[in-house]
Amino acid sequence: MSSPLKIALAQINVIVGDLAGNADRIIAQARTAHSAGVDLLVTPELALCGYPPEDLLLRPAFLAGCDEQLERIAAELADLPGLQVVVGHPTAREDGVMRERSWSLPPCLNAASVLAGGRVLQTYVKRELPNYQVFDERRYFYSGRDAGLLPVVFDVRGLKVGLLICEDAWFDEPAAAAKAAGAQALCVINASPFHVGKVAEREARMAERARATGLPLLYAHVVGGQDEMVFDGASFAMQADGTLAVRAAMFEEALVVVELDPSTRRLAGRIVPEPEMEAQVWQALVTGVRDYLGKNGFPGAILGLSGGIDSALVLAIAVDALGADKVRAVMMPSPYTADISWIDARDMAERLGVRYDEKSIVPMFDAFNAALADEFKDLPLDATEENIQARIRGTLLMALSNKFGSIVLTTGNKSEMATGYCTLYGDMAGGFAVIKDVAKTLVFRLARWRNAQGPEIIPDRIITRPPSAELRPDQKDEDSLPPYPVLDAILARYMEQDESIADIVAAGFKPEDVERVTRLIKVNEYKRRQAPVGIRITHRGFGRDWRYPITSRFRA
Amino acid sequence: MSSPLKIALAQINVIVGDLAGNADRIIAQARTAHSAGVDLLVTPELALCGYPPEDLLLRPAFLAGCDEQLERIAAELADLPGLQVVVGHPTAREDGVMRERSWSLPPCLNAASVLAGGRVLQTYVKRELPNYQVFDERRYFYSGRDAGLLPVVFDVRGLKVGLLICEDAWFDEPAAAAKAAGAQALCVINASPFHVGKVAEREARMAERARATGLPLLYAHVVGGQDEMVFDGASFAMQADGTLAVRAAMFEEALVVVELDPSTRRLAGRIVPEPEMEAQVWQALVTGVRDYLGKNGFPGAILGLSGGIDSALVLAIAVDALGADKVRAVMMPSPYTADISWIDARDMAERLGVRYDEKSIVPMFDAFNAALADEFKDLPLDATEENIQARIRGTLLMALSNKFGSIVLTTGNKSEMATGYCTLYGDMAGGFAVIKDVAKTLVFRLARWRNAQGPEIIPDRIITRPPSAELRPDQKDEDSLPPYPVLDAILARYMEQDESIADIVAAGFKPEDVERVTRLIKVNEYKRRQAPVGIRITHRGFGRDWRYPITSRFRA
C-alpha cells in the first residue's frame, strides 16, 4: 500500500501589487512544504498579485510583472523535486499567446497554474466570474468557458486533481467538467471575503459540491485585510460525502497539511473549531486594522476618545491590533461634555495603557462663532454649531496625524453611517473607518464580549449609559433616532434584504420609523460617498457593494 | 407616392428614480409629437428610470414601479392613435413572466418596449452589456442574447424598424440579427456619457454600423447631468451610406424630427454643427452643475474664492449655470494671501455681480496653533500648518452651507486631484467637485475661451500670474510639482493610456518627473476616495472609472 499523499494549503497573507514580495512568500512556503515531504502545495486565488487588484489589472505592466514573477517561482521549484505548486495569478496570455487588447473586452484571465520542476505545466482559467456585491470580475476577466478553454486535471502521484477557482465551485458546471475530464479530487483556490455567517455558507456549498461530484474537495483560502475586505482563512477539506475533514484557524497564516489516502481517497487532518460570531467579528476588525496600517506603512493610530461606546470599542480593537504603544487617544471636550465622559475616557485609557491627552475645543469654537456672528446673529442654533465642534476635533486629529504620521481612525458605526448621524469632515475625518459596518446593537455585543474575555477593559458605564453625541445640552441619540434595536432591524431589512417600506411596515414596524430611517439612508448618500474606507463584516456594507446614486428621487 | 414617415427623437432630461415624473415627461413628449403628426417617438435608454440607476435596480420595489409606470404610459397612448412610442426601461419580466431572483444572477434586463394604442406591443432586450470604464451593466442586467431572446423588428406604416440599445450598435451581431429579422432601418436608444471627443467617436461608429448593414440609423440620446456623468444629447440620424443626415444641439432638450422617405429610405432633417472642444466642455460643466443642484434641490451654491484661476473658473461656471443671484463667493485670507489675490477676487466678484464676503482665517488659525503649541513646539512648520488653514476654510464654508442650505462647490482641478496637491477636509470639503476632471492646462484654456465669448469676466492677472496655494510665504505650485504642461502630459499617459513609467520615460519625459508624478498618484488614492463626486469630461476620470486599491505596493 502506498503512503498517503500530502497536500498543503498555503493560507497566506499577501499584499496587493507586491508581486516580488508575494512570489517570495510563495517560494518560502514551497521550501517549507518540500522539507515536510509535501506532494502538492496550493496557494489561494490570485495569490501572486493579491485580491482584489482592481484596476491594476488594466495596466499592461502589471500583467507583465505577474507573468515574470510566475516564471521566477517556477524556476525556483527546479530545486524542489517532487513538489507541485498551484499558483493563482492573472495573465493576459492564453495558451502562451498574449491576447490582443481591446477597448471593450476584459484585459485578462483569472488563472491557476500548476508549477513543477522549473516549469509551468498547465494553466486553468476561471469559468464563473462573480460580478455582484463587492465583485467586479467581469470588468477584468473573461471566462475560460466563454473562451472555449478546457478544464485542467493534473496528476499528483497517480491522483487526478481537477482545478477550480473560487466561484467555479459555487456552480455545477466547472466541477462536473473537471470530473468528466477524469478528476478524482477537486482543488479549489479562493479569495472569499469574510462576512458574518460566511464560514457556514461556504462549507455548506462546498459540501454540496463534494456530494454532487462524489469527489473529495480541498479549499485553499487567503487570509488578511485589503482595504474594505477581510479574508478569514479557515481553509478546509471535505470528504467525498461532504463531511468536514480538515479546517484551519481563522484570521492567521497557516500551512495546512491534508493527507489523502490514495486507495480510499479519504482525507485526514486537524479540524479547528469555528469561533463564535463575536469572536469572528472581533478578529476580522483586528485583522483589518492591523493589515491596513501595516501594509500601508503607518507607524501607529490616533483617535478621538469621547467617553462613548463607539470610540471605546475602536480603541480596544486598535490596541488588540497594534499594541498600546502604537495607539494614542485624544479627548477633546466641548462645552457640552459631561463629567462622566471625562472620567470614563481617562479610566479606559489608563486600563489599556495608551497615551491619552485632553485638548479643549472651546477656544477654536469661540473663534469660529465670532467669525460667523454677523451672519448667524438672529438665527437659532442648529446642526451647524454641532458640526463646527465635530470639525474642530477632526482638524485637531488630522493635525496630529499630519505632524507625526499616525493614521486617524474614525469611530462611527454602521447605524450612524446609514442615517447620517455623524459629521462629514468632523468625526468622519480619518483614514480608516474601523466599525463602519458594525451596527450599534452589535457594537454593544462586541463590547460586552471583549470585556468577558479577560480583564474588563471597557468601563461598564460606557456600555450602560444612553448614547449621546454631546454636541448640545442634554442631547441623546434616541431624541433623533428610533431606539437602536428598531433602527438596526429596519436597516438590515432595507439594506441587506432590499425590502421596501411597505414590506418593512408589514413586518410590524411603525410606518413613521420606517419612513424616517429609509429617508435618512437616502439623503445621506453624499456623506457616505466621502467616508473613509472601512472594514466590511456583513453581507452588504457601505463600500464596493453599495452603489447608489446620490441624485435619485426614488422612495420605496 | 406616400408621405414621409415622421420619426421624433425625444432628447429629454430625466431624473434617476423619478419614475412617475419621467413617465409624465415621456407622455408630454408623446402628446407634442402626436400633435405634430409624428408616427414614431423614440425615447433614450432607460428613460423611464434615468441612467444609471445603479443599485436601485437591485430593489424589487424599484422594478415593480418601472413596470407600473410603463403600463401607465401605454394606457395614455390609447388617446393618441397612429403614434408608436419606444420607451427605454428596466424590467424583471421576460415575455411577461417575472424572472426568479437569485443571489448570483443579475436581477433584470435593459429593455426597449414599443407602445401604441394603449398596449405594450413588443419588448427588445439589450444584448451587449458594457462592463468597463464607468459601466457596470453586468452587475444589473442579463443579455438578451444569452437568454436566447430574439431581435425585435416592428412596423411603422410599412417600414420595418429594428430596435437596438446603445452598446448593441457598437458591435456587429445585434444589428446583423435585426437585419436578418427583416429590419429596413435601425433605431438605437442611448445613454452614452460625454467625454471630450465622444461625439466624433460615436458618429463614426454609427456610420460604420449603417454602412455595414446598409440601413439608415436613428440615434436617440438623453441629455443632462447625473452625479459624475453628463449626457450631451446631440441625437442624430445617419443615411444608409453613413452620411450624417440630422444632428440635434448638445446639452439641451429637444424633440428632434427626422423625415424618412418610404420609397428611398433617405432621411431628412436639420444638422446642428458640433461646437468646438472648449465650448463642449464648458456646456458639460454648466449642465453638470445645474442638474446636480436642481435635481437634488439645492437653493444655490457657495465657494471659496482665492484670487487664483481654479476658483475663478468654478465661479464663472456656477454663475453661467445658476445665475449670479444663486451664487456666493467667500474670500478667506490667510497670513500668506498676497494683496493682488484680494484685489483680483473682489474684481471678479464685482464683474459677475455675485455676493462676496471676506472672512479672515487668522483668529481660528491662532487658536489651533495655540492648542497644538505644546505638541509642536520644537518642530519645523510643514504641511500640517498649511492643512490647518485649508481646513478652517472648509469648516467656514460648510458652516454657511449648513445654516443656509447652499451647496459648497469645491474648486480643485484634475492635476491637483491626481497629485494630492489639495487638502482633505480643507479645499476638498464640499458637495460637488466641478472641475475635478479638468487638467490644469485645460483650466487655462477654458478661462481664456470663456473670456473670449463676451465681456471679460475673469481678470487677466488671474490667468497670467503663477499659480500658488498661498499657504506659506512665497509659495508657488511649480516648487512642488513639474510645470503643468509636463505634469498633465504625464497624467494623461499614465491614467488614460495605462502607460508604464518606462513607457513614459521612453516618450521623452524626465525619469525623476515621471517617478514623482506616478508616485504621487499612487499615494493619494486615499484622498481621492474621500473626494466629492464631480463631473467627468475625459475618457477616464477619478470616479466610477478609476477603481484602484488604496493598499497597493505596485509601482510601474
Q: What is the DSSP string of B417-468?
A: HHHT-S-TTTTT-SSEETTTTS-HHHHHHHHHHHHHHSS--S-HHHHHSPP-
The angle at the Cα of A346, spanning A318 to A446, to the nearest 5 degrees, equals 40
Are the beta carbons of A554 and B54 separated by less than 8 Å? no
Instruction: Provide, as residue numbers in chain A, all residues whose Cβ is less than 8 Å from the Cβ of B554.
Output: 16-19, 53, 56, 59, 62, 65
Tell me, what DSSP letter sits at residue B118?
A: T
The fraction of chain A above a pLDDT of 90, given in percent, is: 92
| ipTM of the prediction greater than 0.90, yes or no | yes
The 10 Å CB-count burial string (b at 16+, else e) for A525-542 is bbbbbbbbbbbbbbbbbb
Q: Distance between CA B415 and CA B440 in Å, rounded? A: 6
Query: Do strands A40-42 and A84-91 pair parallel, antiparallel, or not at all (unpaired)?
Result: parallel
Distance CA B224, CA B14 (A): 8
Name residue B156's beta-bridge partners.
B159
pLDDT tens digits, one per residue of A163-213: 999 999 999 999 999 999 999 999 999 999 999 999 999 999 999 999 999
Place of cell 496653533: B369
Residue B280: half-sphere exposure toward Cβ, Cα within 13 Å: 23
Coil, strand, or helix at residue B347?
helix
**What is d(CA B133, CA B539) in angstroms, rounded to the nearest whole number?**
8
Read off the pLDDT of residues A66-87 as tens digits, 9 standing for 90 and up.
999 999 999 999 999 999 999 9
B126 shares contact with chain A (CB less than 8 Å): no
- Whole-number Å distance between alpha carbons of A66 and A89: 7
Cα-Cα-Cα-Cα torsion A189, A194, A200, A205, nearest 10 degrees, comes to -40
- B381 reaches A (C-beta below 8 A): no
CB contact under 8 A, B396 and A368: yes
**Closest partner CB to B18 (pick from A548, A550, A553):** A553
Can you list the positions of beta strands (E) in A78-151?
84-91, 93-94, 97-98, 109-116, 119-125
> 3-class DSSP state for residue A539?
coil
Q: How close B156 comes to chain A (CA, Å)? A: 33
Contact A395 B526 (CB under 8 A): no
pLDDT, position A299: 98
Interface of B with A in 287-316 (CB under 8 A): 291-292, 295-296
Nearest residue to A435 via CA among A299, A295, A288: A288
- What is the spatial distance between Cα A191 and Cα A221, in angstroms, rounded to a whole number? 6
Dump pLDDT digits (tens) for A100-156: 778 778 999 999 999 999 999 999 999 999 999 999 999 999 999 999 999 999 999
CB contact at 8 A, B394 and A425: yes
- Phi/psi for A477 (5° steps) reads -55, -40
Which is higher by pLDDT, A535 or A539?
A535
Higher pLDDT, A38 or B478: A38
Predicted confidence at residue A474, as pLDDT, reads: 83
Q: Which residues in chain A have Cβ-Cβ distances shorter than 8 Å to B333?
A: none
Task: Cell 465661479: give the residue.
Answer: B315
Any B CB within 8 A of A52 CB: yes
Are A382 and B400 in contact (CB < 8 Å)?
A: no
Q: Considering B49, B66, B108, B166, which one is annotated as catalytic?
A: B166
Q: Which residues of B touch A366 (CB under 8 A)?
A: 367
What integer pLDDT is reported at residue A105 of this predicted model? 85
Question: How far is Cα of residue B4 from the mean position of the Cα atoms in its chain?
Answer: 36
In contact, A117 and A170? CB cutoff 8 Å: no
- What residues of B are in contact with residue A391 (Cβ under 8 Å)? 391, 394-395, 398, 425
CA-nearest residue to B129 within chain A is A104
Q: How far is A153 from chain B (nearest CA, A)?
A: 27
CB contact under 8 A, B59 and A498: yes
Distance of alpha carbon A322 from alpha carbon A291, whole angstroms: 10
Helices (H), A158-308: 173-180, 198-213, 277-296
- Supply the DSSP symbol for B103: S
C-alpha triplet B225, B229, B231: angle, nearest 5° = 60
Contact B275, B283 (CB under 8 A): yes
Q: Which amino acid is at A494?
A: Y
- Quote the CA–CA distance of B44 and B41 in Å, as a whole number: 10
pLDDT of residue A470: 86
Nearest CA in chain B to A377: B403
Beta-carbon contacts of A353 under 8 Å, excluding residues fewer than 6 positions away, are: A324
Residue B245 φ then ψ, to 5°: -110, -35
Q: Which residues of chain A have a CB within 8 Å of the CB of B61? A: 500-503, 556
**B175 and B168 Cβ atoms separated by less than 8 Å:** yes
Q: Which of A321, A259, A225 is nearest to A537 (CA)?
A: A225
- What does R_g of chain B's alpha carbons equal in angstroms? 26
Kindly state whether A374 is in contact with chain B, defined as any CB-CB distance less than 8 angstroms. Answer: no
Strand partners, B10: B255
Gyration radius (Cα) of chain A, Å? 26
The residue annotated as part of the active site, out of B45, B76, B470, B499, is B45
A to B CB pairs, distance under 8 Å: 255
Q: One-letter amino acid identity for B308?
A: G
Minimal C-alpha gap between B106 and chain A (Å): 8
| Shortest CA distance from A105: residue in chain B | B132
The letter for the amino acid at A270 is R
The residues near A396 (Cβ < 8 Å, ≥ 6 apart) are: A330, A332, A359, A361, B368, B371, B372
Of B157, B137, B7, B18, residue with least CA distance to B82: B157
Interface of B with A in 429-458 (CB under 8 A): 429, 431
Measured between CA atoms, the residue of chain B closest to residue A503 is B61
- Report chain A residues whose CB lies below 8 A from the CB of B225: 551
Computed from CA positions of residues A44, A46, A47, A53, in that sequence, does the dihedral angle turn out positive or negative? negative
The minimal CB distance from A425 to the residues B429, B554, B556 is found for B429
Contact (CB<8Å) B384/A399: yes
- The two most distant CA atoms of chain A are separated, in Å, by 93
Q: What is the number of other CB atoms lying within 10 angstroms of the CB of residue A131?
A: 22
Q: Which of B131, B141, B206 is nearest to B175 (CA)?
A: B206
Whole-angstrom distance, CA of residue B174 vs CA of residue B152 = 10
Q: What is the pLDDT of residues A461-514, one digit of tens each?
A: 999 998 888 888 888 888 888 999 999 999 999 999 999 999 999 999 999 999
For residues B528 and B420, give the distance between their C-alpha atoms in angstroms, rounded to a whole number. 8
Q: Would you call B480 an interface residue with chain A, using a CB distance cutoff of 8 Å?
A: no
Put simply, the chain A residues between 311 and 340 with a CB less than 8 A from any chain B CB are none
**Given this model, what pLDDT does residue B472 score?**
86
Q: Does B103 touch chain A (CB under 8 A)?
A: yes
Q: Looking at the DSSP assignment, which residues form a beta bridge with residue A165?
A: A189
**Cβ neighbours of A59 in B, within 8 Å:** 498, 500, 554, 556
pLDDT at B1: 55
On whether any CB of chain A is under 8 Å from the CB of B132, the answer is yes
* Spatial contact of A190 and A223, defined as CB atoms under 8 Å apart: no
- Cβ of A553 within 8 Å of Cβ of B21? The answer is yes
- Whether omega for the bond prior to residue A52 falls within 30 degrees of 0, making it cis, is yes
Tell me which residue in A367, A548, A555 faces B363 most closely, judged by beta carbons: A367
Cα B276 to Cα B278: distance, rounded to the nearest angstrom: 6
Residues of B with Cβ-Cβ distance to A48 under 8 angstroms: none
Mean pLDDT by 10 residues, chain B (556 residues): 91 98 98 98 98 97 97 97 98 82 87 97 97 96 93 97 98 97 98 98 98 98 98 98 98 98 97 98 98 98 97 98 98 92 95 97 98 96 96 98 98 97 97 98 98 96 90 84 96 96 98 97 97 97 96 92
> pLDDT band at A1, cuts 50/70/90?
low
**Among A15, A103, A361, A553, which would you mutate to test the B interface (most chain B Cβ atoms within 10 Å of its Cβ)?**
A553
> Residue B165 and residue A230: Cα distance in Å, rounded?
39
Give the containing element (helix H, strand E) for B85.
Answer: strand B84-91
Is B106 in CB contact (< 8 Å) with chain A?
Answer: yes
Q: Do B553 and A379 touch (CB under 8 A)?
A: no
Grid coordinates 486535471 are at which residue? A153
Q: Quick one: B256 exposed, middle or buried, by C-beta within 10 A (0-12, 13-18, 19+)? A: buried
Show which residues of A are catalytic: 45, 126, 166
Q: Give me the pLDDT at residue A198, please.
A: 98
Measured between CA atoms, the residue of chain A closest to residue B52 is: A549
Measure the N-to-C terminal CA separation of chain B; round to a whole number of Å.
66
For the stretch B96-102, contacts whose Cβ atoms lie closer than 8 Å and that sit 24 or more positions apart, written own/partner, are: B101/B60
How far apart CA A229 and CA A232 sit, in angstroms, is: 10
Contact in structure between A439 and A414 (CB atoms under 8 Å): yes
User: Between chains, do A550 and B296 touch, taking CB under 8 Å as contact?
Assistant: yes
Q: Do B16 and A554 touch (CB under 8 A)?
A: yes
Which amino acid, one-letter code, is at B539? H
Q: Is B166 a catalytic residue?
A: yes
Q: How close, in Å, is residue B423 to chain A by CA atoms?
A: 11
